[in-house]
């Protein structure tokens, strides 16, 4: 045991997915930066996963980073919980245990941000806002008849899981004219984000493979948009919006994510790279058009969060992905309530990278003062125990 003391600082617990390794937490680099920045702001930060939550004892076992190394620790229910767990089942288990612990302690269980439902429900919510509806691609829920109908009107269609991330399990079905015995081609990425290509002699044959691949998971279908650069690389624009220390939405920054030629997606986890947005778009569309598109991206990025909050409750940060086709038309592709932020480091935007880590902490402190001012002012926090 390295240390045992009464915690007089407010505490933020970062709920992450379980990972393999000596420190079984997802996003260790991000957690390390949060912990370091938390010290500067007077906030204790510790990371934990679902397995570390023990409602019976009212304690959580987790991890802190000190003196250049990770250490195990034990702590009570944090003042605020920052949910970064991307595993649906694990996240559901963790939330249930945390609420049970809070109930047993007679304390509130306060999350920094809520979560969004599947892509279909988000699409329907955004579609009903007149400011946003014109920027949304046609989207339908997956079925054989809908797939056939959309493919009859478009040469290519895009399929993606409603709860998917990082481009995994995405598909593109295309009609190949004058292609002989295999008029249907299928490109995609498997569960490990590895690309594949297949060809089929009939729609029914292609559909049977897709149905087996999907295995009943909820999917959506859209026309396949030509969101490629002049050199044939897929790209999109990621905007990160976060609440600040006053609880106000702020645009932290934007960056282009560019994939490999022929790739189906531009996600960094799928082999993509990040580019500075303004210069990249100027190269693609010229200075005037690029400036106009970025201005609209900034505006839409501030319009979207209140629409989603009005339907799904308080949110703390969102990653919003925009596509731009070869004519320069802007599309809202996806909204993620657990966004990554590696793009800012990759493009050398130091201010954006720092803000992306700092703002969740500032917003957490804002919530702490709103929800538990007495405990924070008097320092009446339980013990925080650190082990080697």
The share of the chain scoring above pLDDT 70, in percent, equals 90
Task: Decide if pLDDT at 26 tops 80.
Answer: yes
As a whole number of angstroms, the distance between CA 39 and CA 281 comes to 38
Q: Residue 309's pLDDT is what?
A: 97
pLDDT of residue 9: 75
For 219, the 3-state DSSP assignment is: strand
Distances from the Cα of 30 to the Cα of 244, 308, 341, 357, 368, angstroms: 18, 26, 9, 8, 21
In this predicted model, what pLDDT tens digit does every residue of 353-371 receive, in sequence order? 999 999 999 999 999 988 6
- Average pLDDT rounded to a whole number, residues 365-382: 61
Can you give the pLDDT at residue 4?
Answer: 33
Torsion of CA 332, 338, 339, 340, to 10 degrees: -150
Which element (helix H / strand E) includes 206?
Answer: helix 203-214
Measured at the CA of 252, the angle between CA 250 and CA 253, to 5 degrees, comes to: 130
pLDDT digits 0-9 by tens, 294-333 = 999 999 999 999 999 999 999 999 999 999 999 999 999 9
Burial bucket for residue 80 (CB in 10 Å: 0-12, 13-18, 19+): buried
What percent of the chain is predicted at pLDDT more than 90?
78
CA distance 103 to 303: 36
Exposed e or buried b for every residue in 297-311, given b needs 16+ CB within 10 A?
A: beebbebbbebbeee
Q: What is the pLDDT of residues 161-192, one digit of tens each?
A: 988 767 788 999 998 766 566 789 998 888 88
Provide the pLDDT for residue 261: 81
pLDDT at 61 over 60: yes
DSSP codes of every residue in 314-342: ---EEEEEEEE-TT--EEEEEEESS---H
Reference 218, options 86, 93, 88; nearest CA is 88
């Amino acid at each position: 045991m390295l240390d045992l003391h009464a915690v007089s600082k407010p505490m933020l617990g970062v709920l992450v997915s379980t990972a393999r390794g000596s420190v079984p937490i997802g996003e260790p680099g991000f957690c390390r930066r949060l912990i370091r920045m938390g010290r500067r702001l007077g906030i204790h930060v510790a990371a934990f996963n679902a397995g570390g939550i023990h409602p019976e004892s009212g304690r959580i076992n987790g991890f802190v980073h000190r003196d250049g190394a990770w250490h195990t620790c034990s702590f009570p229910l944090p003042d605020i919980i920052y949910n970064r767990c991307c595993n649906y089942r694990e996240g559901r288990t963790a939330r249930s245990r945390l609420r049970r612990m809070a109930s047993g302690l007679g304390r509130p269980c306060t999350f920094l941000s809520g979560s969004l439902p599947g892509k279909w429900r988000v699409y329907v919510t955004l579609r009903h806002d007149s400011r946003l509806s014109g920027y949304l691609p046609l989207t339908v829920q997956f079925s054989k008849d809908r797939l056939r109908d959309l493919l009859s009107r478009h040469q290519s269609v895009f399929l993606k899981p409603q709860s998917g991330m990082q481009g995994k399990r995405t598909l593109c079905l295309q009609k190949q004219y004058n292609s002989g015995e295999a008029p249907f081609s299928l490109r995609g990425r498997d569960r490990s984000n590895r690309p594949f290509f297949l060809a089929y002699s009939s729609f029914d044959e292609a559909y049977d493979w897709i149905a087996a691949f999907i295995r009943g998971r909820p999917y959506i279908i859209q026309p396949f948009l030509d969101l490629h650069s002049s050199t044939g690389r897929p790209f999109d624009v990621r905007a990160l919006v976060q609440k600040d220390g006053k609880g106000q939405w702020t645009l932290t920054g934007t960056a282009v994510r560019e994939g490999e030629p022929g790739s189906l997606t531009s996600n960094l986890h799928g082999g993509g790279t990040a580019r500075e947005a303004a210069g990249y778009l100027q190269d693609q569309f010229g200075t005037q058009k690029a400036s106009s598109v970025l201005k609209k991206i900034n505006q839409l990025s501030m319009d979207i969060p209140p629409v989603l909050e009005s339907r799904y409750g308080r949110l703390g940060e969102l990653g919003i992905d925009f596509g731009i086709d070869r004519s320069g038309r802007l599309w809202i592709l996806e909204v993620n309530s657990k966004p990554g932020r590696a793009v800012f480091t990759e493009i050398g935007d130091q201010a954006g990278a720092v803000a992306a880590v700092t703002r969740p902490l500032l917003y957490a402190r804002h919530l702490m003062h709103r929800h538990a001012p007495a405990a924070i002012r008097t320092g009446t926090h339980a013990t925080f125990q650190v082990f080697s």
